Structure 1
Amino acid sequence: LMAPGDVEGILTALELPDARFGADPAAARDGLIAATLAEAYRDGLRRLGADAAAWRWGQLHHGYFQHPVGAVTDEALRRQMDVGPLPKGGSASTVMHAAYRPQDFRVIMGASVRFVLDIGNWDASVCVNTPGQSGDSRSPHYRDLVEKWAKGEYVPFLYSKQAVDEAAAQRIVLTPAGASGGPAT
């Protein structure tokens, strides 16, 4: 028996067909592969059209971020809050992990935040989070990183005060109510 998603077990069974395939394991395996490929091709034709050379994984496999409030709001606000769909590379067995639902190929699992940290030069570190750097759908930063995330790209993840000060586009100072003086240092 093999568990769903047991890639190693499936590959071994295909490479070394045994009695699980019946009286003639190699012939049964070959028939299964041929039938599976034919059905996959027919499915591709249905989903992506007749020109197989134009098929792209991202035409099926996509990221879509559905805001939880969207289910109880109007269509205009839902469109403002939801992000996607957008083409997404990867799968459940790639470095850019992006597992998907078989029925619609929507990504349902994977890293929403990625970091590449350079401990020898912290300011050379990079990151990305999705869909953006703000939780407010009215902000220009609400969905500003989603395309970089989908493409496997990054933005600088600055560390030193000098690098942060030089790159800062805005500074927000939060002062607790009743606090005397300026911001904490």
Structure 2
Amino acid sequence: SLLAEPGLRWDEAERDDMLLSTLSAGFADCGARLGADPFAWQWGNLHRAIFEHATSRIRPENVTEWNVGPRPLGGSRSTTMLAGYRMSDFGVNLGASVRLVMDVGDWDKSVCINAPGQSGDPRSVHYGDLAETWSKGEYVPLVYSKKRVEEETVRRITLLPE
């Protein structure tokens, strides 16, 4: 209402000057960050998720190859694909890394996603293998029955006490 009905805080000329200056500044900022062609601008080129390994900042050799990303991501603080971000660089710093859709009528039709992957070991092929799928809002099967688990099993690890 402050924009539609000037008068309480400013007159029409002040409102118009404020709108022109802020929109122009915002447009210039987008150009500086995303390039000169506005038709090529994409939210995911700014709004990106990086899964930083816990030791990547403290290891003497600064091992950043254990980090996963950056991955372009949709959403914001006010969308169903909640993904909060730092105002300084739009880097994602909040959101759901695990999502589940459970089919209680047929458990084997359930789906899930866990970012960046199913392993916490950066040496594993499953450490970051779900990051792209996660960033696209997609899912992988979450099988339940013994038959489906056996069909999907790639490797079995058996832990035995000494």
The offset of 1:81, in angstroms, is 1.1
The offset of 1:39, in angstroms, is 1.3
Residue 123 (structure 2) aligns with: 138
Separation in 2 of the partners of 1:127 and 1:30?
Answer: 49
The offset of 1:125, in angstroms, is 0.7
The 1:71/1:154 distance shift into structure 2, 3 A limit, reads same
The offset of 1:14, in angstroms, is 4.8
Question: Is residue 61 of structure 1 aligned with residue 27 of structure 2?
Answer: no
2:67 to 74, 82, 86: 82
Separation in 2 of the partners of 1:115 and 1:158?
Answer: 12
The 1:104/1:166 distance shift into structure 2, 3 A limit, reads same
Question: Is residue 44 of structure 1 aligned with residue 21 of structure 2?
Answer: no
1:164 to 140, 149, 155: 149
Residue 70 (structure 1) aligns with: 56
After superposition, residues 86-105 of structure 1 pair within 5 angstroms as 86-105=71-90
Separation in 2 of the partners of 1:94 and 1:129?
Answer: 20
Q: Give per-residue Cα distances to partners, 1:129-170, cap 9 Å, x unaligned.
A: 111000110100000000111110100011111111111111
The one-letter code matched in structure 1 to 2:100 is F
Separation in 2 of the partners of 1:92 and 1:13?
Answer: 24
The one-letter code matched in structure 2 to 1:91 is S
The offset of 1:16, in angstroms, is 6.1
Q: Find the residue that maps to 1:39 and give its secondary structure.
A: helix
Please state which structure has a larger fraction of its residues in helix: 1
Q: Which has the larger radius of gyration?
A: 1
> TM-score by structure 2 length?
0.90
2:136 to 124, 129, 151: 151
Residue 176 (structure 1) aligns with: 161
CA RMSD of aligned residues (A): 1.9
Bigger relative contact order (CA 8 A; separation at least 6): 2
What count of residue pairs does the alignment treat as equivalent? 162
> TM-score by structure 1 length?
0.79
Separation in 1 of the partners of 2:7 and 2:96?
Answer: 38
The one-letter code matched in structure 2 to 1:72 is I
Bigger mean CA deviation after superposition, 77-86 or 147-156: 77-86
The 1:57/1:176 distance shift into structure 2, 3 A limit, reads same
Percent of residue pairs bearing the same amino acid type: 51
